[in-house]
Amino acid sequence: MRRAVSEKAAIGYVRSTDEGTAEPVRHPVIVVGAGPVGLCAAIDLALGGVRVVLLDEDDTASVGSRAICFAKRTLEILDRIGCGDAVVARGVSWNLGKVFCGDDLVYTFDLLPERGHRRPAFINLQQYLLEEFLIDRAREVDGLSLRWKNRVVGIDPSPDSVLVEVETPSGRYRLVCDYLIACDGARSPLRAMLGLEPRGQTFKDRFLISDVRMHAGRSTERWFWFDPPFHRNQSALLHRQADDVWRCDFQLGWEADPMAEKAPERVIPRVRALLGDGVDFELEWVSVYTFACQRLERFRHGRVLFAGDSAHLVSPFGARGANSGIQDAENLAWKLRMVLRGAAPDALLDTYDDERVPAADDNIRNSTRSTDFITPKSDVSRRFRDAVLALAKDHPFARRLVNSGRLSVPFSYAQSPLCTPDADAFAGAMTPGSPAADAPVRSGDSDSWLLAHLGGEFTGVYASDGGPLPPHVVEDMLALERDATPLRTLVMVPARAALHAGARPELPAVEDVDGLFALRYDARPGTYYIVRPDQHVCARRRSFDAAWARAAVARATCRPVHADAGYGRRAAAVERRA
């Protein structure tokens, strides 16, 4: 059997100058665990100018079940941190899923039925390949110290710092940090050291993953079977990854012997039955897994913040593990940056819980529902599942009940205290809290995407009518950019309107080339959106007002809304009107 091992192995341990100092060296942020979540968090922080140390106990690919499906929102985050193109070029794009019952196709879903988005609904890529791209990126970024074979063996959080003890091939050393992000996985040692336990449900079922390498003329669609002829009374999944590797997933039932089922002589006949005779394949990786849907009660514990599997676990049906973990990382990165830079109070970090705990609950709810369908827990549950499948072939309504995994969609922070509630009427999906939808835009002769112009800092998107902006509006917009928490402006002009009409060159403008911005954001001339550093909408209005914009940014960073001298009275007037 081939071993699927990341090239992390080639990097290895290098002794840090922090080892062997008399006093522990202090860093702003330590991230523990260099999986996809820890790598994204560390890169995002470093790109924002926060020096970060990333510790990993190992120097090879992680052991255990690996993520293969990365959702559109994850790709957009990877775009923002500078490795989206590499990941998408290597991965296999897909939007279509098919569900079979027995021999019959009962349900087909298209996860991205509309055009005008830079990224597909999903790409499939082996987790170790994603990690390689992230490691390459991590090594390019200034201010990121990536340390392999650095195992955290002790943690001592205090009110103003976190002390960790780290074991390396050279011995033990200590580090101090302002904040620590624990991305150390489902069996998080840090979680155990702090005496924390996730709560939730475990499921009595076992599944076999076998990743096989083969040349096959199959499509890249996700194929899921209930009760297929080649694996009676259980479910199966076939899904393509990069480099001619295919994921074959077989439900085994609770009674299956996990050790025996991993033996190649047991696995090969199952895979052959799925693929059919005459297909040559090679086993790449085999694992038998069970799963749970559970989470920590809170993800923030003082200066220690849990992200990804250490904070919450779901079943794999729905691609909600790694994708939600990467969204945790992005949510934390900008908040930590603001707090460390003194632009926001520590209370901003509490909103990590306000936003990501409900996101985890949404994932757990969807994952639990899928699991109840795939692995019914009672006779009556099984009977209804079978009834749905029996009806699905000839009854369109029943196809919508077939649940082989509801695939990850980004969570909207609609209930977040960081959102400014709408005072004006808007239609469409871009309510405050939503991840900003993409749209094609053009600047000059160059085509690009809206999301490429958003993120990193707060950005105000102003829909102009294509005519010149009044000089005082331009002055106000430029002044916002000079604030302690800068609010950049992007002027959106209608298709075929002259760019930069009346605007200064320092006020960037793009053309809503297909009118999709206007459509997706329900924008008309004057409409103004404020988008957070993580590309989530936090406020919108039918007209631009600098005092209102400052108040919205203050709210989105947990600062007192009327604190800044010079705009307090005007902001108060706006509040009263609202």
Least separation in angstroms between CB 437 and another protein: 28
Residue with Cβ nearer another protein (268 or 391): 391
Which residue type sits at 481?
Answer: E
Could you please report the per-residue DSSP string of 5-47?
--GGGGT-----TTTT-SSPEEEEEEEE--SHHHHHHHHHHHH
In angstroms, the CA 501 to CA 466 distance is 6
Beta bridge partners of 239: 247
Q: Which of 8, 7, 13 is nearest to 147 (CA)?
A: 13
Shortest distance, CB of residue 386 to another protein, whole angstroms?
6
CB of 54 to another protein, least distance (A): 47
Structure tokens at 503: 């605007």
* Residue (393 or 442) nearer to another protein, CB: 393
- Our CB check for another protein shows the closer of 112 and 390 to be 390
Neighbours of 455 (CB within 10 A): 22
Structure tokens at 319: 């691609």
Closest CB 376 distance from another protein, rounded Å: 12
354: its two tokens: 């306000």
- Find, among 43, 55, 57, the residue nearest to 143 by Cα: 43
Q: Regarding beta strands 25-32 and 52-55, do their DSSP bridges make them parallel or antiparallel, or are they unpaired?
A: parallel
CB of 320 to another protein, least distance (A): 24
CA distance 389 to 382: 11
Report the alpha-carbon distance of residue 234 to residue 30 in Å, rounded.
Answer: 44
CB of 402 to another protein, least distance (A): 12
Residue 401 C-beta: closest distance to another protein, Å: 7
Write the single-letter amino acid at 309.
Answer: D
Which CB atom, from 232 or from 482, has the smaller least distance to another protein?
Answer: 232
What element of type H or E holds 520? helix 516-520
- Closest approach of another protein to the CB of residue 434, in Å: 24
Q: Which is nearer to another protein, 182 or 388 (CB)?
A: 388
> Looking at beta carbons only, is 14 or 387 nearer to another protein?
387
Comparing CB distances to another protein, the nearer of 260 and 387 is 387
Q: How far is the CB of 453 from another protein (least distance, A)?
A: 40
Closest to another protein by CB, 259 or 380: 380
Q: In this structure, which amino acid lies at residue 320?
A: R
CB of residue 390 to another protein, shortest distance in Å: 6
> What is the separation, in whole angstroms, between the first and last Cα of the chain?
65
Q: What is the CA radius of gyration of the chain?
A: 25
User: Would you state the structure tokens that stand for residue 449, as one six-digit string?
Assistant: 């995407």
CA distance 321 to 36: 11
Question: What are the tokens at 262?
Answer: 């991993």
Rounded to the nearest whole angstrom, what is the least distance from the CB of residue 398 to another protein in the complex? 6
Work out how close the CB of 392 gets to another protein at its nearest, in angstroms, rounded to a whole number: 10
Backbone angles phi, psi at 200, to 5 degrees: 155, -155
Residue (384 or 426) nearer to another protein, CB: 384
The CB-of-366 to another protein minimum distance in angstroms stands at 17
**396 vs 505, which CB is nearer to another protein?**
396
- Rounded CA gap, 296 and 184, in Å? 14
By CB under 8 A, name the binding residues for another protein.
380, 383-384, 386-388, 390-391, 395, 397-398, 401
Query: Where on the phi/psi map is residue 17: left (φ > 0), alpha (ψ -120 to 50), or beta?
Result: alpha
Nearer to another protein among residue 218 and residue 400 (C-beta): 400
The residue (of 19 and 386) whose beta carbon lies closer to another protein is 386
Q: Which is nearer to another protein, 230 or 384 (CB)?
A: 384
Nearer to another protein by Cβ, of 344 and 374: the residue is 374
Q: CB under 8 Å to 301, separation ≥6 — which residues? A: 157, 194, 196
Handedness of CA 73, 76, 77, 78 (dihedral sign): positive
- Beta strand ranges found along 385-495 (DSSP E): 440-443, 446-449, 458-463, 487-494
- Nearest to another protein of 383, 524 (CB atom): 383
C-alpha to C-alpha distances, 16 to 13, 25, 120, nearest whole angstrom: 9, 11, 41
C-beta separation of 501 from 525 below 8 A: no
Residues with Cβ within 8 Å of 89's Cβ and at least 6 positions away in sequence, in order, are none
The answer to whether 311 touches 293, Cβ cutoff 8 Å, is no
Vertex 264, ends 258 and 269: CA angle to 5°?
100
CB atoms within 10 A of CB 496: 10
**Count of CB atoms within 10 A of residue 121's CB?**
22
Least distance from C-beta 394 to another protein, angstroms?
11
Minimum Å gap between C-beta 102 and another protein is 15
